[in-house]
């Protein structure tokens, strides 16, 4: 298999896995929880254990906190998507309940 086909198949697999996580509420919330824990751990380690190493190298400092920023942004995007999907589910549920009440009368 050529490297291009291998990269394409990996990308398709990653997109499919991402869609499963996004569309499943339990998996999405579990991912947000773990992202929050990892981000807090990275901040704690960066401020205590790696403080001297981070202050010596600007490149390492930028990469380290950039990675932490990416995790936090991903977590916030998942939270916003979760909020929107829950409100959409509630609206759909309310409209079904309203239709059921109107049909019973």
Specify the 3-state DSSP secondary structure of 50.
coil
Residue with token string 């936090």: 72
pTM: 0.75
**pLDDT in tens for each of the 105 residues of the chain?**
788 788 888 888 888 888 888 888 899 999 999 999 999 999 999 999 998 998 999 999 999 999 999 999 999 999 999 999 999 988 888 887 777 777 665
Q: Is the separation of the CB atoms in 78 and 36 below 8 Å?
A: no
Q: Do the Cβ atoms of 95 and 66 come closer than 8 Å?
A: no
62 and 2 Cβ atoms separated by less than 8 Å: no
């Amino acid at each position: 298999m050529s490297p291009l086909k291998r990269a394409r198949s990996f990308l398709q697999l990653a997109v499919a896995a991402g869609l499963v996580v996004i569309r499943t509420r339990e998996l999405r919330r579990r991912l947000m929880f773990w992202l929050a824990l990892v981000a807090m751990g990275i901040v704690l380690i960066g401020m205590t254990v790696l403080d001297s190493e981070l202050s010596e190298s600007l490149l390492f400092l930028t990469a380290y906190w950039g990675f932490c920023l990416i995790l936090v942004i991903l977590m916030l995007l998942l939270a916003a998507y979760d909020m929107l999907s829950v409100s959409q589910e509630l609206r759909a549920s309310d409209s079904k309940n309203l239709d059921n009440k109107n049909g019973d009368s």
